[in-house]
């Protein structure tokens, strides 16, 4: 693994840890509206981020296998780009679910406050 890929992996690690913490908090949270959405959102975000981190770390191996199998460098780049794009879509869907869950929880908390 080159130094650039190691640095790329290290830069993605804090985001993975923060999402894992959000999932952990959502798992132990009391029953409130939106809790299930927050759990699913955090799980999808974690899946997308860990997958992207894994692809970033394994990029050299993926390139070597594509080239060894007779593929071109352009084909390998397209495959890696499509994988990152798919994982990005998964993370965005997770972030959207997370936001909707937090909004539902906030709305329920605001409705429970005395006026």
- The predicted-structure confidence for 46-85, as pLDDT tens digits, reads as follows 898 888 888 877 887 888 888 888 878 888 888 888 988 9
End-to-end CA distance of the chain: 59
In order of 12, 15, 30, 90, 91, the CA distances from 86 in angstroms are 17, 18, 32, 6, 9
Q: What confidence score (pLDDT) does residue 96 get?
A: 92
Q: Is the pLDDT of residue 108 over 80?
A: yes
Residues 113 and 54: their CA atoms lie apart, in Å, by 44
**Contact status, residue 43 vs residue 26, Cβ threshold 8 Å:** no
pLDDT at 2: 66
Report, in angstroms and rounded to the nearest whole number, the Rg of the chain calculated over CA atoms: 19
Q: Can you say whether the dihedral through the CA atoms of 101, 104, 107, 108 is positive or negative?
A: negative
pLDDT value at residue 4? 67
Residue-level pLDDT at 93: 93
């Amino acid at each position: 693994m080159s130094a650039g890929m190691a640095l790329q992996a290290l830069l993605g690690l804090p985001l993975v840890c923060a999402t894992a913490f959000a999932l952990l908090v959502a798992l132990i949270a009391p029953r409130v509206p939106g809790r299930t959405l927050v759990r699913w959102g955090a799980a999808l975000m974690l899946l997308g981020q860990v997958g992207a981190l894994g692809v970033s770390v394994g990029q050299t191996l993926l390139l070597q296998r594509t080239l060894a199998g007779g593929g071109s460098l352009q084909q390998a780049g397209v495959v890696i780009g499509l994988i990152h794009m798919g994982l990005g879509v998964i993370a965005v869907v997770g972030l959207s679910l997370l936001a909707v869950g937090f909004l539902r929880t906030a709305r329920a908390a605001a409705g429970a406050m005395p006026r």
